[in-house]
Amino acid sequence: MEPPEVGELTPPDRMLMGPGPSEVHPRVRRAMSTPLVGHLDPAFVDLMDEVQELLRYTFQTDNEFTIPVSGTGSAAMESAIANLTEPGDTVLVPDNGYFGDRMASMVRRAGGSVERVDAPWGAPLDPDDVAAACETHDPDVVGFVHAETSTGVLQHDVPALTETAHDHGALVVADTVTSLGGVELRVDEWGIDAAYSATQKCLSAPPGASPLTLSERAVEKVTSRDAPVRSWYLDLSLLADYWGEERAYHHTAPITNVYALREALRLVAEEGIEARWERHERVAGALRDGVEAMGLGLASESWLPSLNTVALPDGVDDTVVIDHLLAEHGIEVAGGLGDLAGDVLRVGCMGHSARPANVLALVAALGDVLA
Ligand code: PLP
């Protein structure tokens, strides 16, 4: 067999303003080009402690069990769902976006039964509906999506949801993939039992090592399960031996991704988490003002600064706009999903991409294509 002829890697220079990944900060790229050490090297063990400490700050939690899960956001998501769902458990899952559906699939695979809390795509859950569903179904776990990337909806009133769930003895799992590091999130103060995230959104690191934090109550459920978790790789009671005191081998950590995450989290700590939330709101606010000045509106009832769903005028083909922005301006944005397919553009304003220069370029380019 002849060896294939493949040229040197030269990816195009893109401005990443879609639903993720966002642009990676140069300091994070530099961290990724530093030499590997072993995943059990004492130097790496120290670095693991630092990453855990920085993650706790970013999640605003004191949870001991706070780790990056090897894999993309879905790996952290599945570890939360699969470990906290025992066969026969009832899990409440939102019905107002794409990632609620993914949560539901994961619950079913873990042997749980799914009950949905309804809200239209583009609207947040109403805490009264969550309370009514808790009354009717007496769930073991209540899941919600803090920042729904498919619709650009921010779930507000999180403490109202967690209080209701706890009153019914349920644990609360939050999808914080598009909020961590970009939108106000207070895991401890808001009473969230498990929050999972990803690195390629508001943290602006490449995908591959995904944040997860569990409260003591959640850890207790994981460690006192009757049946072992069906996935060996994502069994958090086994992973705890690697990320906990013992540092015992479980699998080979993605060293370079952990370096990247460490640097990305150092940037969060340097900026200050609250200042970072404020920057996302300010820069995305300029984006919102810019598109509104063009006569376009946002399609979401609960604005999510990190993901803006821009409603397209009737008769405008979203794929033409998306293709033009990429081909003529090198700017990546995405179209709508599910109920919003064809009607909106999804424009991210996340992490290192949440900069005034990016917003200016995007608004100008949108004006160009829609003129
Ligand atoms: N949850 C939400 C809200 C997301 O936006 C995503 C990805 O976009 C995921 C989960 C899954 O993450 P990943 O694609 O990194 O596996």
The residues, ordered by sequence, that sit 6+ positions from 104 with a Cβ below 8 Å of its Cβ are 93, 114, 116
Max distance between CA atoms of the chain, in angstroms, equals 66
Q: How far apart are CA 215 and CA 202, in angstroms?
A: 23
What is the per-residue pLDDT across 229-272, written as a single tens digit (0 to 9) for each?
999 999 999 999 999 989 999 999 999 999 999 999 999 999 99
Q: How far apart are CA 294 and CA 315, in angstroms?
A: 16
Q: What ipTM does this complex have?
A: 0.99
Q: Which H/E stretch holds residue 195? A: strand 194-196
Q: How confident is the model over 107-115, as a mean pLDDT?
A: 98
| 207 C-alpha to ligand 1 centroid (Å) | 10
Q: How far apart are CA 353 and CA 371, in angstroms?
A: 25
Q: Which H/E stretch holds residue 284? A: helix 273-293
Over pLDDT 90: what percentage of the chain? Answer: 97
Q: How confident is the model over 107-125, as a mean pLDDT?
A: 97
Q: What pLDDT sits at residue 344? A: 96
Joined tokens for residue 198:
């990803």
For residue 12, cis peptide bond before it (omega within 30 degrees of 0) = no
For the chain, the straight-line distance linking the first and the last C-alpha, in angstroms and rounded, comes to: 53
Query: CB-based burial of residue 166 (10 Å sphere; 0-12 exposed, 13-18 middle, 19+ buried)?
Result: middle
| 7 C-alpha to ligand 1 centroid (Å) | 31
Q: What is the DSSP string of 285-325?
A: HHHHHHHHHTT--B--SSB-TTEEEEEPPTT--HHHHHHHH
Q: How confident is the model over 199-212, as a mean pLDDT?
A: 98
Q: What pLDDT sits at residue 66? A: 98
Q: What pLDDT sits at residue 371? A: 81
User: Which protein residues touch ligand 1 with a CB less than 6 Å away?
Assistant: 19-20, 72-74, 77, 99, 145, 149, 175, 177-178, 198, 207
Q: How confident is the model over 297-305, as a mean pLDDT?
A: 93
Residue to substitute in 69, 70, 74, 212 for testing ligand 1 pocket (most ligand atoms within 8 angstroms of CB): 74
Using pLDDT thresholds of 50, 70 and 90, give the confidence band for residue 343: very high
| 73 C-alpha to ligand 1 centroid (Å) | 5
Q: How confident is the model over 190-215, as a mean pLDDT?
A: 98
* Average pLDDT value over all residues in the chain: 97
Closest residue by CA, ligand 1 atom 12:
73
Q: How far apart are CA 165 and CA 15, in angstroms?
A: 41
C-alpha dihedral (280, 285, 291, 295), degrees to nearest 10: 160
